[in-house]
Amino acid sequence: MYKWEFGILWNYRWILLDGTKITVLLTLSVIVLGLLVGLIAALAQLSNFRTFRLGSWAFIELFRCTPLLVLLLWFYYALPILLGIEMTAYTAAVVTLSLYGGSFYAEIIRGGIISLDRGQTEAGLALGMRPLHVMRRIVLPQAIKRMSPPLMNQSIIQFKNTSLVSVLAVPDLLYQGQVAATDTYRPLEVYTIVAIIYLLILVPMTAFAKRAEHKLNKSN
């Protein structure tokens, strides 16, 4: 029978806390930036200009259909060589995750926008509003309500995706866990704790998303 030894991890509490902070910070950044990317890509998809539509389509397909791990490695090791720039692991992680998440957000946002009755846009246009005004004042405020449950789900997935950045040695929760595990020869305890920390953050978040979705369904 395996003898659990959690006590030894007490010495690593600050490291794990630091890792958790990085994970949360990273998640928040890639959610905000990803939403921005997604919004731009979605609007480009709906644009009257063929070039925008094509460019956005190519971007979305490229990022949705390439494994995230491959993207992370490519952005960290290959892109800097191509462009002749230097990028910290953290920057590479933020950029990759934002673009990756953005490609999924884009489809959600596009779906939310086109699900809205065309009459809403026409009523705005008929008043003499410019298309961007119609989007900002009429369409998006209504579409956001419909999009928020799937956007929240995608954001939860993004949170979990951040664990992959440990391969670039970004000191996130999982990476710090690996450090602790190597130090202590206690992988079982360490990874159990790491998993529990992810759970402790995600379970309430998921519950919150569920409740928001439920509330929304009732209000419609």
Partner 1 sequence: MNQPVQPKINVRGIRKQFGDLIVLRHIDLDVMAGEVVALIGPSGSGKSTLLRCLNLLTIPDNGELRIGEDSFVFGKGSRLPGAKVQASFRSRTGMVFQHFNLFPHMTVLQNVMEGPLTVKGMSKTKAQELANQLLAKVGLAEKAQEYPDFLSGGQKQRVAIARALAMEPSVMLFDEATSALDPELVAEVLQVMRDLAREGMTMIIVTHEIAFAREVASKVIFMRDGVIVEQGPALQVIDQPAEEATRSFLSHFHTRS
- Sites of contact with partner 1 (CB under 8 A): 117, 119-120, 122-131, 133, 137-138, 141-142
121 or 153: whose CB is closer to partner 1?
Answer: 121
71 or 135: whose CB is closer to partner 1?
Answer: 135
Helix (H, G, I), strand (E, B) or coil at 85: coil
Tokens of 107: 């489809």
Task: Work out how close the CB of 72 gets to partner 1 at its nearest, in angstroms, rounded to a whole number.
Answer: 39
80 or 131: whose CB is closer to partner 1?
Answer: 131
Distance CA 204, CA 200 (A): 7
In this structure, what are the phi and psi dihedrals at residue 47, rounded to the nearest 5 degrees? Answer: -70, 160
Task: Work out how close the CB of 138 gets to partner 1 at its nearest, in angstroms, rounded to a whole number.
Answer: 6
Helix orientation angle between 13-45 and 187-219, rounded to the nearest 10 degrees: 40
Q: Which residues contact 211 (CB under 8 A, 6 or more apart)?
A: none
Task: Work out how close the CB of 137 gets to partner 1 at its nearest, in angstroms, rounded to a whole number.
Answer: 6
Tokens of 87: 């990028």
54 or 123: whose CB is closer to partner 1?
Answer: 123
Q: Does residue 88 come out as left (phi exceeding 0), alpha (psi in the -120 to 50 range) or beta?
A: beta
**In sequence order, what DSSP letters do the residues of 117-183 get, joined into one string?**
-HHHHHHHHHTT--HHHIIIIIIHHHHHHHHHHHHHHHHHHHHHHGGGGGGGT---HHHHHHHHHHH
140 or 190: whose CB is closer to partner 1?
Answer: 140
Direct distance between the N- and C-terminal alpha carbons of the chain, in angstroms, rounded to an integer:
55
Task: Work out how close the CB of 153 gets to partner 1 at its nearest, in angstroms, rounded to a whole number.
Answer: 23
The owner of tokens 């978040």 is 205
93 or 143: whose CB is closer to partner 1?
Answer: 143
Task: Work out how close the CB of 125 gets to partner 1 at its nearest, in angstroms, rounded to a whole number.
Answer: 6
Task: Work out how close the CB of 116 gets to partner 1 at its nearest, in angstroms, rounded to a whole number.
Answer: 10
